[in-house]
Amino acid sequence: MQSKVHVRTAINGEPAEFLCEPRQSLLECLRDLCNLTGTKEGCNDGNCGACTVEMDGRIVTSCLVLGVEAEGAQIGTVEGLARGTELHPLQKAFLENAALQCGICTPGFLVAAKALLEQEPEPSEARIRLWLANNLCRCTGYDKIIRAVQQAAREMKEARP
Amino acid sequence: MAVVFIPTLLRPLSGGVDRVEASGQSVRDVIENLESLYPGMRDRLMDGGRLRPNVSVAVDGEVCPMGALEPVGPASEIHFVTAISGG
Amino acid sequence: MTKTEYQVVGTRPVRHDGADKVTGRALYGADFQMAGLLHGAILRSPHAHARIVRIDTAKALAYPGVKAVVTAADFPPAPDKLVDFGEGATPLAYVRGNVLASGKVLYRGHAVAGVAATSAHIAEEAAQLIEVEYEPLPCVLTAPEAMQPDAPILHDGLRTAELGEKAQGRSNISEHFRHILGDSKKGFAETDVVIEREFSTATVHQGYIEPHNATALWNNDGRVHIWCSTQGSFVVRDATACVLDIAQSRIRVTPMEIGGGFGGKIPVYLEPVAALLSRKTGRPVKILMTRKDVFEGTGPTPGSYIRVKIGATSDGKLVAAEAYLAYEAGAYPGAMVGPGGMCVFAAYDIPNVTIDGFDVVVNKPSTAAYRAPGATNAAFATETVIDELAEQLGIDPVEIRLRNAAKEGTRRADGPKFKRIGCVEVLEAVRGSEHYQSPLEGPNRGRGVAVGFWFNVGLPSSCTINVNADGTVNLVEGSTDIGGTRTSVAMQAAEVLGIPVEDVHPSVVDTDSVGFTAVTGGSRVTFSTGMAACEAAGDVIRQMKERAAKLWETVPDKVEAGRGSFRCNGHSATFKELAAKVGETGGPVVGRATVNPRGVGGSFSAAIADVEVDPETGKTTVLRFTSIQDAGKAIHPSYVEGQMQGGSVQGIGWGLNEEYYMSRDGMMMNSSLLDYRMPTSLDLPMIETIIVEVPNPGHPFGVRGVGEANIVPPPAALANAIYRAAGVRMRRLPMSPPAVMEAIWSK
């Protein structure tokens, strides 16, 4: 048995700690040790994007990050999008545009799209498609996802002072 | 009398006839009467009073959930079709 | 049918499970947790075909943290019999054999043993310590090769069946069927143009993003509880009961949220193994597949070899057609070639038809359903031949299809006549669309169209509706919700009850808590479970009339109900007002229904594709794409569009890119999502949709299932577009850049 490593990190703005094996991925740590199962596993090799989380302002596929790398980092997951009972504009737009069917890829898309809109408040359709190209969805054909991101971008722009 | 369409692979039993009139209140009755016309037909369609697995019956174009027990009208069309479902 | 005004049907409410799914709270199979949980792993065959000489589990069992190992030897002895879980009758030995191999492995990735340990990592490591001695056998990977008389034989006991009669010798052909309508030989003699072509299509995977998963607890009372992501909780219950030879009633299946299925999450793979491991350990056991396990160890859709021959007169009338379909079932029979045969010419009224179909086993994973299973392969062949005929005859490709389109009363090659269908209306919508009317300019560009069909199914569904005192209702159903059906079913109940859809709270519950409900498949949930919800709502209305009659001292027949209110002799009450009084008028109101409906309406779908082919690389870019489909009546138009868009894009992936790239010795060379390249957002334009509504007389609102037919036309539409862009007729799927380049070079 390998000894475990004590990791101190911050998840969705709150300090968090966990004990993990050195080989465990951040995805496993979030899901199995922190009970944050909103982040999903689709492939465990960085190709589907379902496990996308924010790490120190960058989006990463958490299956390719080791849990120990989270030491001292700021981690953002789908569970941190809503403010209390108020959904994030992207979450609302995904619902209003029927941008999910089975919903397994949705957390990854939401986290990735949020990072995009924070960096580029008015992305073109082509830019959205490029940004989200690491997130696979097999249900929707992407059409309604792209439209939802466009709608959220418009609403977030209007909401800004 | 109902019109029974003889499945292509059973037409050797009917001497090549592709449809035939047969009486009966239910699919099972009809198959029994078909058997008297073309011996051997019953065993290709039924197994112990029920339709064989992978044989479905359509009465008037509707695949019938009750199979051999399905009622048959006096002018019904009966087909034996592949059972399908989907993804 | 007159135009009906609906309150709820046809609107676009937010789904009831929406908040859970955008916040990460929705619990999918892999998210299930329980005290004392053990984790499992599966050891899979490295060979495509081999005899298992010996399995030694000692080292694995001795590994720290390992609690149990199971192999096929742990299945209780059971007499072989035919079992049917809604996807056709199969010998139990085949179902068991695919869960854990016995005697032989039949494909690379075939499950051989299962391990339970204190962590998933330990289980994976321990699985590698199981020693299996194999005697490799020659493998066979395609239908035409497997049909050769000297081909390696997969199953010693397999004999070719022809409608109840079995042939003598050993064979890899498990079934042959034939449909004859009219006389195709005579028919061809009357034609002016005949085109005959050969096609092949690769094995492709459904590609759901969520891998298979299962947790099982064999409880101390002898009952087994299973939590998993499945398209059919009752299928899991019944199949697991058969595999383990225990009574159905001893198994309770709780369906977790499901991350895509498309037909691939109907068979059981992990559930019986998790149950056996739980029985050995006395603890709950969870097993998750890796992505590689999903590609190598679950059911993709068949690769196929197809010949199609169609003859027409000079004025474009189709007179005769023949098809030869050989589909690869994978390791065990059941290639869905039957539906392929029923769909291959379904769009056309052709008087003389012969269709031969062959279900062929090969050393690849045992295939499962994939969205309109069997139909896409067949339509790729037919629709490209029709396109060639149109070109030779100088007729517009939509016009030739319209001249020959199947309609109500057209006799199909497999026998029955079509009821009311929307083939003509779908083709007219194609012709009238802005997309089809607009010019496509530029070099290396082309437009293609195609049409496709899927039958859809009925099958049983059950539903109960409990009336709450605040005027809302709780709707209980057994159909696992794979894409918004909680809402499309709840909307139908709301419409009948005359209440807002937000006042209906749908729940998908476990197999102990609702009447038998068949799989979420065959495009049946909005149709069948919707019908059960309508009938249960009707049952509520009937009881509410009785309650109103008590209040107003009259008889129930005199109470009128409609649009959410009840009236009689000057009295009136809303549904809500009456619901508040159910306690004092006799107690709770529970509506219930179970249906096994007839009147299933098949759905036609068409696709228009504009592409540009790069003559240097052979890469095809989709410039514009429109999906057209007959929904009968779109209950929730956004979800209908979503089905059309999703099916179209799966069809685009199948057409342009996806394949099991196999080595000669049967290894899938591209078993990751990087190498098995499914379409990304960057590969696609917006997918335009045109919903056609030809109501299905067999459903109260006219619903036709829309889940499947939309995947059928895209590969053929793309092939026809590529022909106009690059001058090459593609007859092999996928039409990947190397395949297109090869065709351009050999032009």
Could you tell me if A19 lies within 8 Å of chain C, comparing CB atoms? no
In this structure, the number of other CB atoms found within 10 A of the CB of residue A125 comes to 14
Segments forming the whole domain that contains residue A145: 89-159
pLDDT of residue B63 exceeding 90, the answer is no
The answer to whether residue C55 sits within a structural domain is yes
Question: Cβ C339–B64 below 8 Å, yes or no?
Answer: no
Question: Cβ A140–C645 below 8 Å, yes or no?
Answer: yes
Task: Quote the minimal CA–CA distance from C417 to chain B in Å.
Answer: 6
**Same domain membership, residue C732 and residue C675:** yes
pLDDT of residue A58 exceeding 50, the answer is yes
Closest CA to C330 of C370, C290, C372, C383: C370
Q: How far is CA A33 from CA A20, A30, A67, B70, C2, in A?
A: 8, 6, 10, 57, 59
So what's the pLDDT on residue C241?
A: 97
Could you tell me if A137 lies within 8 Å of chain C, comparing CB atoms? yes
Segments forming the whole domain that contains residue C583: 458-595
Residue range C608-628, pLDDT digits in tens: 999 999 999 999 999 999 999
- What is the average per-residue pLDDT within B67-80? 93
- What is the average per-residue pLDDT within C421-425? 98
Identify residue C613 by its one-letter amino acid code.
V
Check if the beta carbon of residue A22 is closer than 8 Å to that of residue A2.
Answer: yes
Distance, in Å, from the CA atom of A49 to the CA atom of A57, rounded to the nearest integer, reads 17
pLDDT band at B65 (very low <50, low <70, confident <90, very high): confident
Q: Which of C288, C322, C348 is the last residue of a domain?
A: C288
**Same domain membership, residue C551 and residue C515:** yes
Residue range B10-33, pLDDT digits in tens: 999 999 999 999 999 999 999 999
Q: Judged by CB atoms within 8 Å, which residues 417-436 of C form the interface with A? A: none
Task: Quote the minimal CA–CA distance from A2 to chain C in Å.
Answer: 11
- What is the average per-residue pLDDT within C329-358? 96
Chain B residue with minimum CA distance to C418: B61
pLDDT of residue C1 exceeding 60, the answer is no
CATH number, domain containing residue C739: 3.30.365.10
Q: Which of C595, C619, C638 is the last residue of a domain?
A: C595
So what's the pLDDT on residue A47?
A: 97
Lowest mean pLDDT among A1-15, B27-41, C73-87: C73-87
**Same domain membership, residue C447 and residue C395:** yes
Question: Cβ C684–A142 below 8 Å, yes or no?
Answer: yes
**Same domain membership, residue C606 and residue C533:** no
CATH number, domain containing residue A95: 1.10.150.120
**Same domain membership, residue C627 and residue C723:** yes
pLDDT of residue A1 exceeding 70, the answer is no
Count how many domains chain A has.
2
**Same domain membership, residue C545 and residue C613:** no
Q: How far is CA C631 from CA C354, C527, C619, C701, in A?
A: 30, 11, 33, 11
Q: Which of A58, A80, A102 is the last residue of a domain?
A: A80
The answer to whether residue C21 sits within a structural domain is no
Task: Inspect the structure and tell me whether chains C and A have 3 or more CB pairs less than 8 Å apart.
Answer: yes
Q: Considering only CB atoms, which chain C residues are within 8 Å of A36?
A: 24
**Same domain membership, residue A70 and residue A36:** yes
Question: Cβ A144–C290 below 8 Å, yes or no?
Answer: no
Spell out where C424-495 has E strands: 445-454, 461-467, 473-477
- What is the average per-residue pLDDT within C266-295? 98
The answer to whether residue C12 sits within a structural domain is no
Residue range A84-131, pLDDT digits in tens: 999 999 999 999 999 999 999 999 999 999 999 999 999 999 999 999
Strands B77-82 and B55-59: antiparallel
Q: Considering only CB atoms, which chain C residues are within 8 Å of B77?
A: 416-417
Distance, in Å, from the CA atom of C273 to the CA atom of C38, rounded to the nearest integer, reads 13
| Mean pLDDT comparison of B47-56, B62-71, C419-428, highest-scoring range | C419-428
DSSP designation for B66: T
- Average pLDDT along chain C: 97
So what's the pLDDT on residue C86?
A: 73
A83 conformational bin, left if phi > 0, alpha if psi -120 to 50, beta if neither: beta
Interface test with C, best of A40, A87, A143 (most C CBs within 10 A): A143
Question: Cβ B9–C264 below 8 Å, yes or no?
Answer: no
Task: Quote the minimal CA–CA distance from C675 to chain A in Å.
Answer: 9
DSSP designation for B44: H
Residue range C566-576, pLDDT digits in tens: 999 999 999 99
So what's the pLDDT on residue C3?
A: 61
The answer to whether residue C35 sits within a structural domain is yes
CATH number, domain containing residue A14: 3.10.20.30
- What is the average per-residue pLDDT within C289-299? 98
Residues of chain B above pLDDT 90, percent: 68
Task: Quote the minimal CA–CA distance from C619 to chain B in Å.
Answer: 30
The answer to whether residue C304 sits within a structural domain is no
How big is chain A, counted in residues? 161
The answer to whether residue C274 sits within a structural domain is yes
CA geometry: angle at B61 spanning C173 and C532, to 5°? 100
pLDDT of residue C2 exceeding 60, the answer is no
So what's the pLDDT on residue C496?
A: 98
- What is the average per-residue pLDDT within B49-67? 87
Q: Which of A80, A98, A114 is the last residue of a domain?
A: A80
**Same domain membership, residue C619 and residue C588:** no
**Same domain membership, residue C259 and residue C131:** yes
**Same domain membership, residue A65 and residue A20:** yes
Q: Which of C273, C288, C303 is the last residue of a domain?
A: C288
- What is the average per-residue pLDDT within C189-214? 98
Residue range B33-47, pLDDT digits in tens: 999 999 999 999 998
ipTM above 0.95, yes or no: yes
Question: Cβ C23–A102 below 8 Å, yes or no?
Answer: no
The answer to whether residue C418 sits within a structural domain is yes
* Residue bearing the bigger pLDDT, C4 or C740: C740
Q: Which of A63, A80, A97 is the last residue of a domain?
A: A80
Lowest mean pLDDT among B44-58, C163-177, C570-584, C710-724: B44-58
Count how many domains chain C has.
3
pLDDT of residue C349 exceeding 60, the answer is yes
Q: Which of the following CATH numbers is that of domain B2-82: 1.10.4080.10, 3.40.50.1010, 3.40.640.10, 3.10.20.30?
A: 3.10.20.30
Q: Judged by CB atoms within 8 Å, which residues 473-512 of C form the interface with A? A: 482-484
Contacts B–C by Cβ distance under 8 A: 114
Task: Inspect the structure and tell me whether chains C and B have 3 or more CB pairs less than 8 Å apart.
Answer: yes
So what's the pLDDT on residue C164?
A: 80
The answer to whether residue C314 sits within a structural domain is no
So what's the pLDDT on residue B52?
A: 87
Q: Considering only CB atoms, which chain C residues are within 8 Å of B8?
A: 177-180
Residue range C642-669, pLDDT digits in tens: 999 999 999 999 999 999 999 999 999 9
pLDDT band at A2 (very low <50, low <70, confident <90, very high): low
**Same domain membership, residue C243 and residue C118:** yes
pLDDT of residue C681 exceeding 60, the answer is yes
Contacts A–C by Cβ distance under 8 A: 183
Could you tell me if B86 lies within 8 Å of chain C, comparing CB atoms? yes
pLDDT of residue C263 exceeding 80, the answer is yes
**Same domain membership, residue A42 and residue A68:** yes
In this structure, the number of other CB atoms found within 10 A of the CB of residue C366 comes to 26
So what's the pLDDT on residue C625?
A: 98
